Amino acid sequence: MDHLKRHAKKDHGAVASSRRPKPDRRWTLLFIGDHGRVITLKRFKGLVALATFVLCVSVAITVGLYFLNQNITVEKKQLETDLDTLKKQNQKLHHEKDILLARLVLAESRAQKSVGGRSENDREDSAADQIEETPAETDSSVIAAVKKVGVPAQKQSKPVIDQPQPELSVAVENLQVSALQQSNRMSLQFKIKNTTPDSQHVSGRTIIVLKSNQLPKSRWVSIPQVPLDGGKPTGSSRGHAFGINYFKIMRFTSVIPTSPEKFDTAAVYVYTRDGNLLLEQDFRITLPSPQLASSTEPSMDSVTEAVKNTPTDEFGME
């Protein structure tokens, strides 16, 4: 009996041990190497889910970029179409401008040659009719019609209006003559003003000529010394340079000429840098008399008298 009971317990234990355990829901990936080493990779299911998610996100981004590229391509094509339309409109306007310029040339030519006879006008009218019948796609016939009149269309398309440059002008005022101290030289000065419109810059040279009706022109004196032609300096002669926008005081120094009392007039000449005469103006003057050098030098008697009257201690003597 005891033997039967032990055998029954063994059979019950074998039956109990033969039952399968409860399955694990987690996935495990096993790798077996060449040497029999087992590598376990747990949470394989989570890794697969993560890879699937990353793949889906990549596909979504790719699809979004594709549609964005399609929108950009469509917009580019639309801009190209608009650009072509604008180019065609520009060409059409350019053609219409050429036609209008040709008509303007014909009208001006008709006005200038109206006194030449009816035949000339008929020829211009026929050229104008040809231009009006010209289709919008051709430009060569327009140019040919303009050439038939004899006036180039390109030159008339940009008429050049010559605007006269303002003439340069100056004025001279307040000529003064004075003698320099203790010398036989004199100083002359005057004020030169820019009278050009809008105060345009003026530059050039100035010359003074001392003259008199009592003296021949060969004895007239120029300041600075320049050759005179008939009593006047030439434009190529040098002089005192100036450059003004408003005004300037010009100063000259010169030796007092011989017989200064005979000179009663000073003529001021203003030239441009190119040698063109801007101004010639006469002033009544009175030249100073030269001061003799001997009158300013102390005589030997005055020096001797001054030495006698000087105390000896001023000379370092005791």
149-159 pLDDT, tens digit per residue, is: 454 444 444 44
**C-alpha to C-alpha distance for 223 and 287, rounded to whole angstroms:** 14
265-279 pLDDT, tens digit per residue, is: 999 999 988 888 888
Q: Which fold has domain 170-289?
A: Immunoglobulin-like (2.60.40)
Report which secondary-structure segment, H or E, holds 283.
strand 277-284
Going from N- to C-terminal start, the domains of the chain cover 25-157, 170-289
297-316 pLDDT, tens digit per residue, is: 444 555 455 444 444 443 33
- What angle separates helix 118-132 from helix 44-112, to the nearest 10 degrees? 160
* Least confident among 2-6, 57-61, 94-98, 179-183: 2-6
pTM: 0.42
**248 within 8 A of 254, measured Cβ to Cβ:** no
**168 within 8 A of 224, measured Cβ to Cβ:** no
CB burial of residue 303 (10 Å; 0-12, 13-18, 19+): exposed
More confident residue, 195 or 27: 195
More confident residue, 24 or 160: 24
More confident residue, 204 or 115: 204
- What angle separates helix 44-112 from helix 140-149, to the nearest 10 degrees? 20
Q: Can you give the pLDDT at residue 70?
A: 93
* Least confident among 11-20, 94-103, 167-176, 250-259: 11-20
Distances (CA, A) of 255 to 19, 47, 183: 146, 115, 9
**223 within 8 A of 273, measured Cβ to Cβ:** no
